[in-house]
Copies of this chain bind each other. A is one copy, B any other.
């Protein structure tokens, strides 16, 4: 097992999807990983082998893929992060497509401190719907203004 120079963005994407697939269907197969990440199967095989190398996955050729303890830990953190971002973007009230695309982009770049702060912001707004409503109203106005 090779040392880990901090999971790359791509690594995180793979782990995230694999984790999701396992949660959803109980297993993760190359075809589905490929489909979910919109890449080809050979790329998946190659990457899966590297992830196994690095100790994130248990992998047996032609058999199957599971998360190691380490992989599961990382995947859980990624999921947590993703959820914080989802909640935050809901506050911003953006079309789901935009939201998802942006989250995919930024989720690999945020430090734990920032994430924590962001979570705090979300908590704040979720516990203060009055403030949130006020912000939303303000947004509405400026959007209307831009459309003039």
Please give the residue numbers on chain A whose beta carbons come within 8 Å of chain B beta carbons, in ascending order.
89, 91-95, 98-99, 101-102, 104-106, 108-111, 113-114, 117-118, 120-121, 123-124, 131, 134-135, 138-139, 142
Q: How far is the CB of A130 from chain B (nearest CB, A)?
A: 10
Q: How far is the CB of A123 from chain B (nearest CB, A)?
A: 8
Residues of B within 8 A of A110 (CB): 102, 105-106
**Assembly CA distance A111 to B95 (angstroms):** 11
At the interface, is chain A mostly helix, strand, loop or mixed?
A: helix
**Assembly CA distance A123 to B110 (angstroms):** 23
A120/B94 contact (C-beta < 8 A), A106-B109, A106-B110, A111-B101 known: no
Would you call A109 and B102 a contact (CB within 8 A)? yes
Would you call B105 and A93 a contact (CB within 8 A)? no
**Assembly CA distance A89 to B117 (angstroms):** 9
Would you call A109 and B120 a contact (CB within 8 A)? no
Would you call B117 and A94 a contact (CB within 8 A)? yes
